[in-house]
Amino acid sequence: MSALFEPVTLRSLTVPNRVWMAPMCQYSAEVFGPNAGVATDWHFAHYAARAAGGTGLILQEATAVSPEGRISPADLGIWNDTQVAALRRITGFLKSQGTVPGIQIAHAGRKASTDRPWKGGAPVGPEAHGWQPLAPSALPFDEDHPVPTELTTDQIDGIVEQFADATRRALDAGFEVVEIHGAHGYLIGEFLSPHSNHRTDAYGGSFAGRTRFALRVVDAVRAVWPEDKPLFFRISATDWLDDAGWTVDDTVRFATLLKEHGVDLLDVSTGGNAPKVRIPTGPGYQVPFAARVRKESDLAVAAVGLITEAAQAEKIVANGEADAVLLGRELLRDPSFARRAARELGGEVHVPDPYHRSV
């Protein structure tokens, strides 16, 4: 029996296999007006193809909890009921294929209000439907980004409530998993790292201060998310800045706290909080971070980062380095990766009836 194609149960939810889709922004939503942030036919086709391909769980791309929480004006949102209605079409189809629908809820912080990546990804202003970014401290991401507005404690309270409201809407939209985005230098990750958090109040300084906002978000989400449904948290295990930033030691320590606060799985990535950082990439380069968290915190983890081959994914799960693998670019290249991997490894995966000849 292939370890990659064994089901995994988190709380009352059973995911049919360990081949999962990582959240990847499509920057393809409506940009402004009453349909801003609403999913389009592109999103339906994109996610439907990976479900038909046998993916066990799909985490929808970073979906903003507020208009100013988007990475770009073309990001998906979940701050109103119009957006929810469009998402139900996606979750309904995913479930019909045996795929678990999950959603990553997010706030981009100081990295908000940028153009689509294929248009350069530079910050955009009001003339291009942009806005003033918000952050823990008035520190720009780099020399090309504007100085963000430092959040007041009242604004922090408001954003915590926005995450809770987004979670309620995610449930209404039919999602079975919620993932809080705390990675890649977006708002929650900005609070965690001393590189981007220079606050001197209760939300800065010490480890306890810098993790306070993240834990408040977790508590607010867990309070409204059903007890029988799992909660994920995505983290950058390191800023790749040594002791000047967030470290893997911090991540292990934080993982224990997350588990105590009701998080069921840590989605372990790295980087994104500082520009021009040298990252030693290679096949599975982030897997050791996930493996260490799993071993030292006893929290379930998913591994991500240049996982491209069936045998590679099988080894990660079989060796106990992670409970599941999250595939990104490889699933963009091959929507039916799970079905192909099942053939290679002797596993079983859902195949839609019209695709029976592909088995």
Catalytic residues: 186
| Residue type (1 letter), 125 | G
* Distance in angstroms (rounded) separating the CA atoms of residues 243 and 209: 17
- Which ranges in the chain belong to alpha helices (H)? 41-52, 81-96, 153-172, 187-192, 207-224, 248-260, 287-297, 310-318, 329-333, 337-345
Burial group, residue 185, by CB count within 10 angstroms (0-12, 13-18, 19+): buried
Question: How many secondary structure helices (H) and strands (E) does the chain include?
Answer: 10, 12
Residue 84 three-state SS? helix
Q: Which residues pair with 123 in a beta bridge?
A: 114
* Distance in angstroms (rounded) separating the CA atoms of residues 104 and 179: 4
What DSSP string describes 124-162? --GGGT----EESSS--SSTTSPPPEEPPHHHHHHHHHH
* Distance in angstroms (rounded) separating the CA atoms of residues 137 and 135: 5
Q: Kindly tell me the sign of the dihedral angle through the C-alpha atoms of 109, 115, 120, 122.
A: negative
Contact 216, 268 (CB under 8 A): no
Contacts of 49 (CB under 8 A, 6+ apart): 335
* Distance in angstroms (rounded) separating the CA atoms of residues 37 and 225: 22
Give the chain's radius of gyration (CA, Å).
Answer: 19
CA distances from 276 to 37, 110, 165, 253, 279 (A): 30, 17, 35, 27, 9
Helices 81-96 and 41-52 cross at an angle (nearest 10°) of: 20
